[in-house]
Structure 1
Amino acid sequence: MLEVPINIGLLRRGGRLELITLVIYDIPDNALRYKVASYLKSKGLKRVQKSAFAGPLTTGRRAELIAGLRKLIHGQQANIQVYPLTPASFNQRVVLGVELSYEEEEHLI
């Protein structure tokens, strides 16, 4: 089941605006890939594809997330991209195909 809300309006936490943060990655090393996925989950993001997580974050929390990812991959072969998206942009996404469950495969991803 896709756990990221389908229709997201303006998100506020403690008076601060949150944007949807989409994180995608290509990481050849299995152990590092698992660490990155675990870290993203610990920050409240939900898996939306095998190498993609999304969730609402404030600017400050997104900066912390990026700093943590930098430390995790320092000196290793990895490509991580972080996209802040407005709720309007996120709500315009198109999902094609069959909805897949990724939690069962987490140890492999």
Structure 2
Amino acid sequence: MKKSNISLYQRLKVIKKNALPTDAPLIPEGNEIAQLDARISSVLDLFKKYQKKKSTEMLCFIMYDITDNKVRKEIAKFLIEKGMIRVQKSVFLGSLKAKLYQQIAQDLKEVQSLYENNDSIMIIPVSESEVNRMKLIGQQVDFDMAIKTKGSIII
């Protein structure tokens, strides 16, 4: 994926300045999410890699409810550029070092203050013990095998 030289804040400032219409489709072209099995595979790979990481990294979910299509698209692009995996349309998962976690949180806070909105963005660190208790409903995936621990329950 091509990296952008301007920050998320700057990209959204341009969108605001141009006051472009926001009647794009819910998932704009080029911003599709992968098929479910590919997303699950990516998440499982991330769990495996996380087990090998130093304690300076943490798993983190980022979720949002953003009404403006262009803002939503830019935030999704930004999170992918930062190495997050898109789990669902507005849910991302990644293994982040503390510095990157803080940078992402600050960038998203700046974006939130850029325009008048009722949007929400949640950044949720997930500990290893919480990962071990994770439940996946609707798709049979062996999380125990993926994270090499026992105790996860799949409903």
TM range (shorter): 0.7 to 0.9
How high is the TM-score relative to the length of structure 2?
Answer: 0.56
Partner amino acid, structure 2, of 1:60: K
How many residues align? The count is: 96
Partner amino acid, structure 1, of 2:104: L
- For residue 17 of structure 1, what is the aligned residue in structure 2? 56
- Contact residue 22 and residue 83 of structure 1 kept, 8 A: yes
Q: Which secondary structure state, in structure 2, belongs to the residue aligned with residue 4 of structure 1?
A: helix
- For residue 35 of structure 1, what is the aligned residue in structure 2? 74
User: 1:80-102: CA deviations, max 9, x gaps?
Assistant: 00011112212321111148xxx
- The gaps in structure 1 that reach 5 residues or longer are 100-109
Aligned-pair identity (%): 26
Residue 127 (structure 2) pairs with residue 92 (structure 1): no
Structural mapping, 1:52-91, within 5 Å: 52-74=91-113, 75-77=115-117, 78-91=119-132
Q: Based on CA coordinates, which of the two structures has the bigger radius of gyration?
A: 2
* Structure whose residues are more often strand by fraction: 1
- Contact residue 32 and residue 73 of structure 1 kept, 8 A: no
- The gaps in structure 2 that reach 5 residues or longer are 1-37, 141-155
* Structure whose residues are more often helix by fraction: 2
Q: Which structure has the higher relative contact order (CA within 8 Å, separation 6+)?
A: 1
How high is the TM-score relative to the length of structure 1?
Answer: 0.77
- Contact residue 10 and residue 18 of structure 1 kept, 8 A: no
Aligned-residue RMSD, C-alpha? 1.9
- Contact residue 45 and residue 56 of structure 1 kept, 8 A: yes
